[in-house]
């Protein structure tokens, strides 16, 4: 258990951390390590999807299955963490209607990304289970639309949201 803590927070344990942190309100309570790791994992997912898109119509079916199984739970956990811990802290720290509008947009993007992730999962599962890639261009276009949108979302959070609440993401420097 202690060893697990030392390795850093797993995104799949975010729910537990949320409940532990729910009663805290100071900036010091915001776990920058969790957020840095969350963005890193999302960017790794983007890189993996880009590799798949670049290699089309050739595919690594096992890799497609692995990503298909991880993508939705990963996004849901990260989004839940941001929406319950990070965004409220950002709104409290900065105030102002512009920032409220920003978090509203970011929350809407989370919903869109999760819907999109469901579609990407279906495609990757089909490919992973042996279906031929009939239209590589269309699949590539879909994958690129998904990961490019996620990268833009992450860049905004790193440049605007996290610094405002005292989190400096080293990966963004
Ligand atoms: Fe986000």
The reply to whether 9 falls in a domain is no
Cα 62 to ligand 1 centroid, rounded to whole Å:
28
The reply to whether 19 falls in a domain is no
Cα 170 to ligand 1 centroid, rounded to whole Å:
17
pLDDT at 100: 87
Tell me the C-alpha distance between 34 and 10, whole Å: 8
Tokens of 96: 């102002």
Cα 157 to ligand 1 centroid, rounded to whole Å:
7
At 56 the three-state DSSP class reads coil
Is the pLDDT higher at 142 or at 6?
142
Cα 76 to ligand 1 centroid, rounded to whole Å:
10
Cα 168 to ligand 1 centroid, rounded to whole Å:
16
Residue carrying structure tokens 């880009």:
50
The reply to whether 42 falls in a domain is yes
Residue 25 above 60 pLDDT? no
Give CA separation, 6 vs 3, 14, 50, in Å: 5, 15, 31
The domain tally of the chain equals 1
pLDDT at 14: 44
User: What is the DSSP annotation of 15-26?
Assistant: HHHHHHHTT--S
Cα 132 to ligand 1 centroid, rounded to whole Å:
33
> What's the whole-number mean pLDDT along residues 51-66?
96
127, 64 contact by CB (below 8 A): yes
Cα 4 to ligand 1 centroid, rounded to whole Å:
25
Q: What is the pLDDT of residues 145-168, one digit of tens each?
A: 999 999 999 999 999 999 998 887
Domain with 86, as residue range(s), is 31-166
Predicted model pTM: 0.80
The reply to whether 93 falls in a domain is yes
Cα 154 to ligand 1 centroid, rounded to whole Å:
6
Cα 117 to ligand 1 centroid, rounded to whole Å:
14
pLDDT at 19: 42
């Amino acid at each position: 258990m202690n060893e697990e803590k030392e390795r850093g927070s797993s995104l799949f344990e975010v729910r537990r951390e949320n409940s532990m942190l729910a009663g805290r309100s100071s900036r010091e309570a915001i776990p920058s390590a969790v957020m840095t790791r969350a963005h890193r994992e999302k960017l790794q997912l983007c890189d993996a999807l880009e590799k798949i898109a670049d290699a089309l119509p050739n595919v690594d079916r096992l890799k497609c299955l692995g990503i298909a199984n991880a993508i939705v739970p990963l996004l849901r956990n990260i989004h839940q963490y941001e929406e319950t811990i990070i965004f409220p802290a950002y709104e409290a720290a900065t105030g102002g209607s512009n920032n409220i509008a920003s978090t509203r947009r970011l929350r809407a993007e989370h919903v869109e990304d999760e819907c999109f992730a469901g579609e990407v999962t279906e495609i990757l599962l089909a490919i992973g289970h042996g279906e031929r890639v009939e239209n590589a261009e269309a699949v590539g276009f879909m994958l690129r639309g998904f990961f490019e949108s996620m990268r833009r979302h992450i860049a905004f959070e790193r440049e605007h949201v996290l610094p405002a609440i005292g989190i400096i993401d080293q990966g963004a420097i």
